[in-house]
Amino acid sequence: MSTFDVVVIGAGAAGEVTAGRLGQRGLSVAIVEERLVGGECSFYACIPSKALLRPVELAAEARRVPGLSVGPLDAAAILARRDEAISHLDDASQLPWLDERGVTLVRGRGRLDGMRRVRVGDTLLEAERAVVIATGSAPLVPDIPGLREVRPWTNIEATTATVVPERLVILGGGVVGVEMATAWQALGSRVTLVHRGSRLLEREEPFAGEQVADALRAAGVDVRFELAAARVDRRDDGVEILLSDGSTLRGDEVLAAFGRVPGTRDVGLETIGVEPAGFLSVDEQLRVPGHDWLYAVGDVNGHALLTHMGKYQGRLVADTILGVDGQRVRLDGGRSPRVIFSEPQVGAVGHTLESALAAGIAARAVDVETGGNAGGSFVGRGAPGTARLVVDEDRGVVCGMTITGAEIAEALHAATIAVVAEVPLTELWHAVPSFPTRSELWLRLLEAYGL
């Protein structure tokens, strides 16, 4: 048995931040990882998807600028750059960060073995202060007849594939579905996206899904709504999907983009009397109820399946373990800042108008064109885009914002500050945007609101 102050199970983004912050402040910490240190985001999600999508964004922007010409994308070069970005699925570059903070890496599958104990193969780790579960989530492959047997792509294969499929069928119109449709259509696949709902990105403002659907269709993606896969079969020439309306689709690959399931399988929770039904329940300090020594951070608690939110939670848990008073999750769940790297991009934080009204907020929304200002003449020229401000009328503060358009991801943080800090609209009026930048959309929004 080896004894540490804290044992963290899972070395993805949330686990790394938790362990690193604790180690940096003098605690002895062990972090357990059975796969790649850095987790899904570094190797199978955020980083490789961005590497695939960035050339698409740049090419689209260059085509909007008079005097520039853009040839076809070089798929082989883009895939090679993607491989470089994910270090060819080698986590050696991640290890110095842990070493510098005095964190001990234990390779293998970690599972609880009673109170404050974690077993990794034949090794037993004892935690004197706390155990943190940071085992993330996994792609959902539902029980559609034949789907699992054809070994579909998930986000893992979709972000690391080395060959461009001639035909790709995507099942699901959420974030993974629209981002991968954007990327692989641009790389040369003929993409068909099938979604059981009536619009894409159903958790976001309706205009966001509509604009992304229009852009995908303009790029050549066959987008089909209100359909579901009834059966999937492997044929000699690829995969055949029987749809709910009786029609069929053929593809060389099929991507299952249905969402995520919690990483609670075989974590040993039963050894402490916890039988998880889905994502792990936690309180405002991210403790598992009934166990003041056990925390769950990141995707595994289901509050916000986003890397930056997992890191945020990791910092809060580390500070709680270190004895910092008053640590509580303030921004969580569907109100978290989020960016979808489609073309156009979608950035949102806080409430949509629908969710604000459902929460009983006296909400009002105002919209302007993202590019309807001088800055829009230079960035995103002529590109579709809408900026929506959702205002809590009773308190006079911003409770949500959604922005769509070309390269708007970096603009979201200003909205996040306004939402988290509950800045009064009358004060935002004095936050003067620089000219000529697209940040003047804030001025346009306040004017539209009537200030």
Digitized pLDDT (tens) for each residue of the chain, 451 residues in all: 899 999 999 999 999 999 999 999 999 999 999 999 999 999 999 999 999 999 999 999 999 999 998 999 999 999 999 999 999 999 999 999 999 999 999 999 999 999 999 999 999 999 999 999 999 999 999 999 999 999 999 999 999 999 999 999 999 999 999 999 999 999 999 999 999 999 999 999 999 999 999 999 999 999 999 999 999 999 988 999 999 999 999 999 999 999 999 999 899 999 999 987 789 999 999 999 999 999 999 999 999 999 999 999 999 999 999 998 777 777 677 789 999 999 999 999 999 999 999 999 999 999 999 999 999 999 999 999 999 999 999 999 999 999 999 999 999 999 999 999 999 999 999 999 999 999 999 999 999 999 8
* Cα dist from 351 to 166, 176, 424, whole Å: 39, 21, 16
Q: What 3-state DSSP class applies to 366? A: strand
b or e along 383-400 (b: 16 or more beta carbons within 10 Å of the residue's beta carbon)? bbbbbbbbbbeeeebbbb
DSSP code of residue 288: P
pLDDT value of residue 331 = 66
Global pTM? 0.95
Kindly report the backbone phi and psi dihedral angles of residue 9, in degrees, each rounded to the nearest multiple of 5, phi listed first.
Answer: -100, 110
Indicate the residue type of 308: H
The pairing of strands 397-405 and 386-392 is antiparallel
* Gyration radius of the chain's alpha carbons: 23
CB atoms inside a 10 Å sphere around CB 252 = 16
pLDDT value of residue 116 = 97
**Which residue, among 141, 205, 182, has the nearest Cα to 354 in the 3D structure?**
205
